[in-house]
């Protein structure tokens, strides 16, 4: 195509640049259900099932790369343990008995997302960093002390430790703007201080599913 004037050339370049920017720098918002298999690393406790959800936003710098902000919350889950004999830990004693309390959890994570766009699907991988909050350890410590435990009261405070998620999933395109996210699977690391031992790392499994809208 022959451009016949500088003004026409400028308009052509401006329109082309704007279209390109809209194509590769679009915003993506998403809503998700989340299942978290939480590993409390407390003796006499098995892994716990957390159910919740949330959402977030991804700013796509290119079609292949974006920056993600994710916020998820998990509802109250019962923590119950029955001890036939007292348990002595490095930080105090848990008397024999049954202890039951509740816990919830909230995570706020940020990081890069790498995508492989295809005609009908977009697989992606991510690594996210941030923090989380859970009152599970605090509530259980209070329950143990109420039953005659000898843990320092300072161990019952709430915690906001470093948290990380590594994994990926796939988006199924439903049109130009909408996508179905049938599966995302992540490894999640949290660093809650365990009030009953000296362990500080918890390793969890996370599954997510939801929808995403791009504009």
Half-sphere exposure of 133 (CA within 13 A, CB side): 9
Taking residue 63's Cβ as centre, other Cβ atoms within 10 Å add up to 14
C-alpha 3: how far from chain center: 52
In degrees and rounded to multiples of 5, residue 195 shows phi and psi of -70, -10
At 179 the pLDDT is 95
> May I ask the CATH class of domain 26-214?
mainly beta
Q: What is the pLDDT of residue 126?
A: 98
Tokens of 189: 């690391």
Distance of alpha carbon 177 from alpha carbon 116, whole angstroms: 17
Helix, strand, coil share (%) of the chain residues, nearest 5: 15, 55, 25
CA gyration radius for the chain? 24
Q: Which phi and psi angles does 18 have, rounded to 5°?
A: -65, -45
Q: Where are the alpha helices (DSSP H) in 62-169?
A: 136-146
CA–CA gap between residue 158 and residue 6 (Å, rounded): 65
d(CA 162, CA 136): 16
Helix or strand or coil: residue 14?
helix
pLDDT of residue 77: 73
Q: What is the pLDDT along the chain (215 residues), one digit of tens a residue?
A: 454 555 454 444 444 444 444 465 589 999 999 999 998 887 667 788 899 999 999 999 999 999 999 999 998 777 777 888 888 887 788 899 888 878 889 999 999 999 999 999 999 999 999 999 988 888 888 888 888 888 876 655 678 899 999 999 999 999 889 999 999 999 999 998 877 776 789 999 999 999 999 98
User: Burial letters for 105-129: b for 16+ Cβ neighbours within 10 Å, e otherwise?
Assistant: bbbbbebebebeeeeeebebebbbe
The predicted pLDDT at position 44 comes to: 65
The answer to whether the predicted template modeling score (pTM) of the entire model surpasses 0.85 is no
Res 5: pLDDT: 56
Per domain, the residue ranges of the chain are 26-214
């Amino acid at each position: 195509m022959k451009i016949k004037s500088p003004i026409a050339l400028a308009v052509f370049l401006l329109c082309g640049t704007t279209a390109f920017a809209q194509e590769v720098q679009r915003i993506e918002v998403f809503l998700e259900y989340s299942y978290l298999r939480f590993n409390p690393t407390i003796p006499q406790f098995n892994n716990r099932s957390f159910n919740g959800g949330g959402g977030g936003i991804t700013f796509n710098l290119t079609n292949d790369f974006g920056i993600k902000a994710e916020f998820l919350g998990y509802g109250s889950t019962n923590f119950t343990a029955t001890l036939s004999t007292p348990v002595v830990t490095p930080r105090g004693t848990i008397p024999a008995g049954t202890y039951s309390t509740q816990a919830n959890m909230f995570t706020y994570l940020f990081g890069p997302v790498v995508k492989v766009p295809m005609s009908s699907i977009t697989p992606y991988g991510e690594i996210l960093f941030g923090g989380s909050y859970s009152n599970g350890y605090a509530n259980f410590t209070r329950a143990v002390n109420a039953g005659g435990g000898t843990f320092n009261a300072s161990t019952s405070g709430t915690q906001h430790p470093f948290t990380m998620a590594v994994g990926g999933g796939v988006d199924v395109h439903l049109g130009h703007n909408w996508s179905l996210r049938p599966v995302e699977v992540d490894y999640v690391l949290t660093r809650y201080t365990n009030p009953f031992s000296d362990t500080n790392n918890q390793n969890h499994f996370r599954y997510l599913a939801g929808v995403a809208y791009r504009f």
